[in-house]
Amino acid sequence: MTAPVFVVDHFDTDGAGRYVLDGPEGRHAVSVKRLRAGEAVVLTDGAGRWAEGEVDGTEGKDRLIVALGRVTEEPAESPRLTVVQALPKGDRGELAVETMTEVGVDAIVPWSAARCITQWKGERGLKSLAKWRATAREAGKQSRRVRFPEVADAATTKRVASLLAEADFAAVLHESGTEPLATAELPASGDIVLVVGPEGGVSPEELELFAQAGAKPYRLGRSVLRTSTAGTAATAVLLARTGRWS
């Protein structure tokens, strides 16, 4: 099993190469994970920089002393995969973010689609966005990633169309698609952008706007998936097809 991952703001050590992991991450390492001297850990900034370390000891209930190794940087994945996720009801949005992060998506764009029951407005919208970002961070740690997915601000339909127009491969999951996503011709590099609609589906007007931006409709299979699981299933298909899972 790989070493547990903890998120840090910097990699500064003392003269002896020791790093003090404190705050919430240190408390989790000491009091929840109960790490002890000699155990391995990984520290990351969540943006690709990371270092392996070995626990040297603890101080109190929230300070882990780590003998830190060399800091390295993991290159960004290619092709880059962005999922535009329509806002689901309740906590299903966090479920979608969690599972897509575990699978390996690179960026998530919350989308206020016309048929979304949930709408992010004002303080509620800010809190919901913060939950999505916190979920991506925690799922990134749990799945041992050192480059966590970016969770963008909520996008309008016009903004989504712009993202699709700029992509090297643009797709919309929709029942009108005649071609399976599993057989689509994908680029070896660049940007892949995939749109996952809401429970009520992508409206005809949205579908037409996305088509004008260069996005074709594709289907996953015979069964109908919830919006909170469709993105994860599609991400798995695409990552296997691009060779990122090879």
- pLDDT tens-place values along the chain, 246 residues long: 589 999 999 999 988 889 999 999 999 999 999 999 999 999 999 999 999 999 999 999 999 999 999 999 999 999 999 999 999 988 899 999 999 999 999 999 999 999 998 889 889 899 999 999 999 999 999 999 999 999 999 999 999 999 999 999 999 999 888 899 999 999 999 999 999 999 889 999 999 999 999 999 999 988 888 999 999 999 999 999 998 887
pLDDT at position 1: 53
DSSP 8-state assignment for residue 227: H
Q: Clarify whether residues 163 and 183 are in a common domain.
A: yes
Q: Clarify whether residues 91 and 203 are in a common domain.
A: yes
pLDDT at position 36: 93
Q: Clarify whether residues 158 and 102 are in a common domain.
A: yes
Q: Clarify whether residues 105 and 42 are in a common domain.
A: no
Q: Clarify whether residues 229 and 109 are in a common domain.
A: yes
- Whole-structure pTM value: 0.93
Look up the domain containing 64 and give its range: 5-73
End-to-end distance of the chain based on CA atoms, in angstroms? 20
Residue 34: which CATH number? 2.40.240.20
Q: Across 141-187, where does the E strand assignment appear?
A: 150-151, 169-173, 179-180
Q: Clarify whether residues 48 and 154 are in a common domain.
A: no
How far is the C-alpha of 77 from the C-alpha of 17, rounded, in Å?
30
Helix (H, G, I), strand (E, B) or coil at 205: helix
Q: For the chain, what is the domain count?
A: 2
CA angle in degrees (0–180, nearest 5) for 27-32-34: 95
Helix (H, G, I), strand (E, B) or coil at 73: strand
Q: Clarify whether residues 110 and 14 are in a common domain.
A: no
* Structure tokens that stand for 91 in this block: 């906590």
Q: Clarify whether residues 27 and 66 are in a common domain.
A: yes
CA distance to 90, 192, 209, 217, 228, per residue, from 164 (Å) = 27, 9, 10, 12, 21
